[in-house]
A and B are shown apart, each in its own frame.
Chain A
Amino acid sequence: MTTDSHALTTVEHSPVGGLAHDARGGISNPVLGMILFLTSEVMFFGGLFAAYFSIRAQSFQGWPPPPFDKENPLEIFPLVGPATVLLIISSFTAQFGIWAIRRNDRTGFIRNIAITVLLGVVFLIMQGIDYTILASKGLSLDAGPFGTTYFTLTGFHGAHVLGGVVMLSVILYRGMAGQFSARHHDAVEATSLYWHFVDIVWIALFSTLYLLPGTTVG
């Protein structure tokens, strides 16, 4: 076959009609990309959780293992519990922001995103203070499997919160510059998905690290 035969045929409608980005409607490319990326993030934390449960299950000295078996250094009050509540609230404010921009309500959008950023920063500060308290109790990254798993899990979550805060700040900046509208705000949708994910991971972490009862040597 020669090239001529190709040339002889034609294409339906416009020459490159089918070639436009985002041709297939439905969910937008950035949002789909973010959902897929979050799948990989779920698996990443899945790996860390698997390590946590595996090490916990094989600890022959109970959990928490000594020297933390007498008194668990992880305490819900005064810091971690309230921080958890703040993070959950921030998920709502992020969603209010989304609903606002979908209504083309830019003021409401900016206000809600600003609150979300603020709550994220406060969460990070509270986590930082909590870390120093734990350190004073002798719990650190190298203090046995208990400390290693705790700081690895919460540390990586904290890094994700930080990442989320940076992304939301960019969104806030761009929002104040008037770059988003009801029709064009894919980046906002994608970022809020990420923020919800970070929130859900924290709920799973909090339940596992703080609410799951410890075990003793039987």
Chain B
Amino acid sequence: MATTVLHPPTTAPGYRSGLYEWVTTTDHKKIGILYLVNSFIFFFFAGLLALGVRAELAQPGIQFFAPTTYNELFTIHGSVMIFLFIIPILAGFGNYVVPLMIGAPDMAFPRINALSFWMLPLGGLMIAAGFLAGGGAAAAGWTSYTPLSEAKYMGVGEDLWILGLVLVGTSSILGAVNFLVTIFKLRAPGMTMFRIPILVWTVLVTAVLVLMATPVFTSALIMLFIDRNYGGHFFDPASGGNAILWQNVFWFYSHPAVYVMILPAMGMISEIVPVFSRKPLFGYRAFVFATAGIGALGFSVWAHHMFTTGSVYLPFFSLMTALIGVPTGVKFFNWIATMIRGQLRFSTPFLFSLGFLTMFLIGGINGAFSAAVPVDFALHDTYWVVAHLHYVLFGGSVFGVMAGVYYWFPKMTGRMLNETIGKIQFVLMFVGFNLTFFPMHMLGLAGMPRRIADYSSAAGWSELNLLASIGGFTIATSMLPFLWNIFVSLRNGEIAGDDPWEANTLEWATSSPPPPYNFDRLPPIRSERPLFDLRHAASTVGHAGAAAAPATEPGA
């Protein structure tokens, strides 16, 4: 039937459109790429701030930054990494991949999609602009606990931080509505809910979390803004407010936000591991239920960030926190069971996935220590927590993001990233990451609190801090091969073709990069691996596969 070669892979058609085209686009693929580029810009910015922090802490004494500046550095580092890198970059992958994966031509509301994106750089610039403001950027930590973040203690930078985050939050909410409608309504015929790829499921649960949690954060931000600028009395106990109220509303959002930051990465790993193992994902349904379970439990554990405040009912939140480990454990066993008896191919995306598995595991286990409340009394707000959150967000999310970049770059650009440079990057990043963050466990145990600009040379923390700083600069070094790889591969990379990885999901059924309307035609969808079915049918039935394929349920 029809042509033999739909998209001859002779040249990689690039996006030749000009700047105007990019600024005004409503194509989910271009917006997805904008998300990725924008997120990486903020990633490098926040990474530089982190280098500042590590440089200052490399040895005792104050060398480079005054304590006020130091507080600004880690505050903006945390805020930008979380709100302008991890959350948006995962939304960016979702934007690019989800419509393709479910066989849709675009998102449900393309113009709202563009609006969601353009709020991000604006919000991000506002947060970063704090450095230019009188009194400096926000310096109350990314958690901005009251009353420290009140007008009495923080300058205009804090207001910029608040307004920037309101924008970023609104962007997230609109994006979530868009994802949900797209996933509910725009699936291709045959693409039932239990056939959508796991990544789409994780994006769905993430969108629900964003939809329910982010507005609560927005309300908290607005209350803080009123306190700071219009004489409100929400959070300042000196005038009838409640200091702990902020922590409750903040963590009601920010704990689910942790799952917003990790679930889509889990989803990407769940796409990549089966492809490079040549096996289906072990326990698709278990995976879906585990994801939903994490989403549901995610709303009942926020106060585990507040065990030491003396204001929370400890047994309940301790129990819930312990339980939320279970679905994550289920996922781990499913990933490993997928690899067992498979035929593993160690391409760069799979390497980064293994980095995710091995490192995120540590991030899960060292979190369990803090679920045991008395142990949390010892570890809370020490470098142990810094180690934990970086093993989750860097070891988990960033390794997942890198796996995703190497996996989908061919689809986005039509060209492969260089495998050798990719492996160099992986080794540097893996080594640098562990060198930076593993010693932080020991520092935390030894009693080093987080967010301190300086420590005494008598405290015995100097060597481990130096090690961590060396590691931090190693991570920074690992970004050079990454950038070089992208630069080189965009021009001279190997032509990818439609499906370079022998993948399973629909995005590989169209050309690389896909046409603006995504698909000329769709293969029949009879399982969660339509492309596998297609390949398999073609190889067994020979070249009569077309006739053998009956129409899937029409309309569905």
The reply to whether A and B meet directly (CB within 8 Å) is yes
Partner-B contacts on A (CB < 8 A): 1-13, 15-19, 21-25, 29, 32-33, 36-37, 39-41, 43-48, 50-51, 54-55, 58-59, 61, 65, 141-142, 144-145, 147-149, 152, 156
A36 lies within 8 A of B188 (CB):
no
B517 at interface by CB-CB < 8 Å: yes
Q: Which residues of B contact A55 (CB under 8 A)?
A: 233-234, 240-242, 245
Known contacts being A10-B1, A51-B219, A141-B231, is A18 close to B189, with CB within 8 Å?
A: yes
A5 CA / B544 CA spacing, docked (Å): 10
Contact A144 B538 (CB under 8 A): no
Option from A17, A29, A43, A65 in Cβ contact (under 8 Å) with B189: A17
CA gap between A57 and B234 in the complex, in Å: 13
The one of B173, B233, B241, B249 in contact with A40, judged by C-beta atoms closer than 8 angstroms, is: B173
B189 touches A16 (CB 8 A): no
Q: How far is the CB of A60 from chain B (nearest CB, A)?
A: 9
Chain B interfacial positions (CB closer than 8 Å to A)? 1-7, 9, 103-105, 108-109, 173-174, 176-178, 180-181, 184-190, 211-220, 222-223, 226-227, 230-234, 239-242, 245, 248-249, 252, 497-499, 502, 509, 517-524, 531, 534-535, 537-539, 543, 545-546, 549-552, 554-556
- 12 additional contacts (CB under 8 A) given A3-B497, A8-B545: A6-B499, A6-B509, A9-B546, A17-B189, A19-B105, A32-B185, A33-B108, A40-B173, A46-B216, A50-B216, A145-B239, A145-B240
B240 to chain A, nearest CB (A): 4
The answer to whether B534 touches A9, judged by C-beta atoms less than 8 angstroms apart, is yes
A-B contact pairs, 15 of them (CB 8 A): A3-B5, A6-B509, A10-B549, A16-B521, A19-B103, A24-B555, A32-B180, A40-B177, A47-B218, A47-B220, A50-B249, A51-B219, A51-B234, A55-B245, A141-B226
Task: Determine whether the beta carbon of A7 is less than 8 Å from that of B538.
Answer: no
Residue of B181, B188, B223 ringed by the most chain A CB atoms within 10 A: B181
Whether B517 and A19, one on each chain, are in contact in the complex, defined by CB atoms closer than 8 angstroms, is yes
Q: How far is the CB of A160 from chain B (nearest CB, A)?
A: 13
Q: Which of B218, B517, B534 contacts A5 (CB 8 A)?
A: B534
| Alpha-carbon distance A45/B231, docked complex (angstroms) | 21
Residues from chain A with a CB closer than 8 A to the CB of B226 are: 141, 148, 152
Most buried by B among A1, A65, A152: A1
The minimal Cβ–Cβ distance linking B156 to chain A, given in whole angstroms, is 19
Which residues of chain B have C-beta atoms less than 8 A from A54's C-beta? 242, 245, 248
Q: Quick one: given A6-B499, A152-B226, are A43 and B103 in contact (CB under 8 Å)?
A: no
User: In angstroms, how far is the closest chain B Cβ from the Cβ of A126?
Assistant: 23
Task: Please state if B232 and A50 are interface contacts (CB–CB under 8 Å).
Answer: no
- Are B181 and A1 touching (Cβ within 8 A)? no
**A41 and B223 alpha carbons, distance in the complex (Å):** 16
B6/A6 in contact, CB under 8 A = yes
Find B181's partner among A10, A25, A29, A142 (CB 8 Å cutoff): A29
Q: In the assembled complex, which residues on chain A have CB atoms less than 8 Å from the CB atom of B521? A: 10-11, 15-16
Inter-chain CA distance A51–B249, complex, in Å, is: 8
| Interface residue from A5, A16, A37, A149 paired with B519 (Cβ < 8 Å) | A16
The minimal Cβ–Cβ distance linking B15 to chain A, given in whole angstroms, is: 21
- B520 interface neighbour in A15, A45, A59, A149, Cβ under 8 Å: A15
- Cα–Cα, bound, A16→B539 (Å): 26
Chain A: minimal CB distance from B152 (Å): 14
Whole-angstrom CA separation of A65 from B234 in the bound complex: 14
In angstroms, Cα B89 to Cα A69, docked, is: 51
Q: How far is the CA of A10 from the CA of B521 in the complex (A)?
A: 7
**Distance from A48 Cβ to chain B, minimum over Cβ atoms (Å):** 5
By a CB distance below 8 angstroms, the chain B residues around A43 are 211-216
Q: Is there an interface contact between B248 and A1, defined as CB atoms closer than 8 Å?
A: no
Q: Are B223 and A39 in contact (CB under 8 A)?
A: no
Q: Report which of A7, A13, A17 forms a contact with B5, defined as CB distance below 8 A.
A: A7
Contacts of B213 in A (CB 8 A): 43
Q: In the complex the two chains form, is B216's CB within 8 Å of A47's CB?
A: yes
Residue in contact with B219 in the complex, picked from A6, A44, A61, CB distance below 8 Å: A44
Chain B residues with CB under 8 A of A41: 215
How far is it, in angstroms, between the C-alpha of A16 and the C-alpha of B188 when the chains are bound?
Answer: 9
Q: Which single member of A8, A40, A45 contacts B546 (CB below 8 Å)?
A: A8
> Once bound together, how far apart are the Cα atoms of A44 and B249, in whole Å?
11
A21-B520 in contact (CB<8A): no
Alpha-carbon distance A41/B233, docked complex (angstroms):
23
Check B181 against A32 for contact (C-beta < 8 Å).
yes
User: Cβ of A37 and Cβ of B173 under 8 Å apart?
Assistant: yes
Is B519 in contact with A19, judged by CB distance below 8 angstroms? yes
Q: Establish whether residues A36 and B180, one from each chain, have CB atoms under 8 Å apart when the complex forms.
A: yes
Residue of A7, A8, A65 with most chain B CB atoms under a 10 A cut-off: A8
Task: Kindly provide the distance from the CB of B142 to the nearest chain A CB, expressed in whole angstroms.
Answer: 19
Cα of A12 to Cα of B538 in the assembled complex, Å? 16
- A144 to B233, alpha carbons, bound, how many Å? 6
Q: Which one, A1, A61, A148, contacts B234 given CB within 8 A?
A: A148
A145 touches B181 (CB 8 A): no
Inter-chain CA distance A23–B497, complex, in Å, is: 30
Residues from chain B with Cβ under 8 Å of A4 in the complex: 4-5
Chain B nearest Cβ from A25, distance in angstroms: 8
Complex Cα spacing A23 to B103, Å? 12
Does the CB pair B9–A3 fall under 8 Å? yes
Q: What 8 A-B pairs come out closest when comparing CB atoms?
A: A142-B231, A47-B219, A12-B551, A44-B215, A47-B216, A18-B188, A5-B538, A43-B215
